[in-house]
Structure 1
Amino acid sequence: MSDAIQGIDCIRVHSIYGHKGPLRHDAPDPAEYFERFAEALGMWLTETLVTSSDRVLINFDSVLTKGQRGKLMQRLKARLNDTSQSYRISFMPVKSDFNGQIADYFAWSLFRQLERLDDLPLRALSGITQEVRELDEQSRISIEDQHRHPGEK
């Protein structure tokens, strides 16, 4: 899979992760938890898209209920509508979409590095621009933005 991904020249990956324990305590409703990620993603998109003319495609796995998806969309659209950026947001099973499979592979690779201290999957993707941010307990992106490959020491 990493070889196929490396062959695509227009990929840029931005990962946001959070430790569920503290966040779950503050937001027992799963929709609130995902809204925090939507807000962080929206902030990043508006920060980075100021000079971009590309269309943004945001794919989510279809694990959320219709109500949860609505809240997530509302939060994201509020951010993106403030820009002149063209975007499309969709929810579909990861297994049915190639872009979703790519995103899932990056998420799995980051999980392996963070939880298992196994950076081999991320190193296999080292030729692709990646940014990683941690969502803190207060639902804000950590001030220290990591603009390096997550597997680097």
Structure 2
Amino acid sequence: MSSVRVYFRSAPGVLNIWQVVLCFALVITLMADHYGSEARYDLRLDELLLLMASFAFFVSTLLMLVGVLMGTLDLQYSPIYRLSYVMASFTYLPCTVAFVIGEVGSSHGVDTFLSMALAVATSFMFVGSTLVVYQPFICPVVAA
């Protein structure tokens, strides 16, 4: 249990929790904003790709978090974490850029701005996790 507490106080643990929260919020806002008046979803391709990426990485990040809580997954800097964060970074960045470019010209208001802000924040979280997991010299490893 001590190692779980250490993990949640470390940079990867905090980023993991925020990724779960932001991905879930982005999935909810994308689904709620684009539900049409005729009881069907009206999504452009960039919105659909971002929604699929958000849901996929929400589930994978949540499973990694549950694995850490149960003690069955190696905590920080494991190959599973590294592979997941690299895949998330390379998937999220193009989806976010395409989504922001597609939404800049629209006049939907606060909902669009919230979705764009969540997409950019989630993208930065995954890129930050990728940088932290590969242990750059500015983020030294704390011994448990």
Fold conserved between structures, TM > 0.5: no
Q: TM-score, normalised by structure 1?
A: 0.27
Higher helix share: 2
Which has the larger Rg? Answer: 2
Higher strand share: 1
